[in-house]
Chain A
Amino acid sequence: MHDSQLVLYDEDHRRIVAVGQLLVRDANAKGIFVVDRNGQLIAEAGEMRGIDTTSLASLTAGCIAATGGLARIVGEDEFPVHFHQGQRDNLHISLIAGRMILVVVFDERSSLGLVRLRVKKAAAQLAKIFEDIAKRADQERASGAVSTPFAEITDEDIDNLFSV
């Protein structure tokens, strides 16, 4: 069951953010968010500081999960691209490598066509990064070299969490 545990190192995060920053610039977007399908925020870039990113991640994953369910009902595997149009801001949501979700927030300074175009390139780059992460995880598992900060925690560490 834990085969799909996600471990993200500094270098992975830097690579993802670099792609995100480029996407923000090239697509004239306000911000981008990379979220995993279980609702965890992986990375963000752009000018949307201060928004509730935890809720954004959870609701995005819920939205993708619900429309994925709808897709299967009508005989599709997924709806890989979603577009939500607002009065000021719009959301472009796309699935990456079946596992990650890329959210682009943009306003009238950009257009859906431009965002779609730029997302295509960024999605391929992100897919490669996540492929590398998955490969590394597989190798670590195969070699038994999985190391997490939790390997050496004691029952006392756990107790201390609850004594606060």
Chain B
Amino acid sequence: MSFINYSSREINCKIVYYGPGLCGKTTNLQHIYTKTNPDLKGKMISLATETERTLFFDFLPLALGQIRGFKTRFHLYTVPGQVFYDASRKLILKGVDGVVFVADSQIERMEANVESLDNLRLNLAEQGYDLDRIPYVVQYNKRDLPNAAPLAEMKRLLNPKGVPDFEACASVGKGVFETLKAVARGVLQDLKQMSR
């Protein structure tokens, strides 16, 4: 749910990074945080366990610039990927404007990817959203690993509708900003369309 504030001339949108455990959602946000001009970002919050697994969410507020005199801010969230944190994932999807699905390219994680994507679709539906109708992009992360599945196979399994998708290696930043830009663009285009 975007929030348009005429008083402070700001528009705020919420983007959620979704995906199976250890696929690199937090790493995406950490890279964005590290590489963004300090003037454009707020504090990154990670609610994590002692072993640095996401417990509730990571949060990073980001200012992209101005459109028609309005400051455009994106609030980036990750969900906890581990299967048993499903209640938390549902909460974080509330009010979402755009989704990034981060897939783990390792062949042995393909089942986890498919399960997480099904879970995303289901949890969105519970909130009244349809994955096919909201701004949505897919990122194939960890492409650098030797056990990465063929891209065509991942596309077939995880992106049959052909939404914008990107190969990435989030640990070194490859593909991270391309993914973010694509989903942000989708959110803004969606706002434009609904304004008509």
Contact = CB atoms under 8 A, between A and B. Distances in A.
B3 A8 contact: yes
Interface stretch (B53-61, B136-144, B156-164, B167-175): B53-61
Contacts of B7: 8-10, 12-14
A149 B68 contact: yes
Q: How large is the interface on A (under 10, 10 to 19, 20 to 34, 35 or more residues)?
A: 35 or more
Interface string B84-110: 000110111011000000000000000
B67 interface: yes
Contact of B192 (A37, A40, A151): A151
B155 interface: no
Q: Please classify the interface of chain B as helix (H, G, I), strand (E, B), loop, or mixed, using the class held by over half of its residues.
A: mixed
A8 B2 CA distance: 11
A161 interface: yes
A161 B4 contact: no
Contact of B43 (A37, A55, A162): A55
A58 B195 contact: no
A62 B47 CA distance: 10
Contacts of B47: 62
A124 interface: no
Given A1-B134, A2-B194, A148-B4, A160 B65 contact: yes
B1 A4 contact: yes
A140 B182 CA distance: 30
A139 interface: no
B38 interface: no
A38 B88 contact: no
Interface string B1-28: 1111111100110100000000000000
Nearest to A162: B181
Given A1-B133, A149-B11, A13 B5 contact: yes
A164 interface: yes
Contacts of B12: 40
Interface in A15-52: 36-40, 42, 52
Contacts of A146: 194-195
Interface residues of B, number: 49
Contacts of B192: 150-151, 153
A54 B195 contact: no
Contacts of B69: 149
B64 interface: yes
Given A10-B6, A69-B87, A161 B67 contact: yes
A162 B129 contact: no
B169 to A, nearest CB: 21
A54 B196 CA distance: 30
A59 B45 contact: yes
B188 A158 contact: yes
A70 to B, nearest CB: 9
Given A12-B7, A152-B68, A62 B57 contact: yes
A58 B45 contact: yes
A76 to B, nearest CB: 15
Contacts of A68: 91
Given A2-B2, A38-B94, 18 more contacts: A1-B134, A5-B1, A5-B194, A6-B4, A9-B7, A38-B1, A39-B14, A40-B3, A54-B75, A58-B59, A59-B59, A62-B47, A66-B88, A149-B4, A157-B67, A160-B65, A161-B188, A162-B185
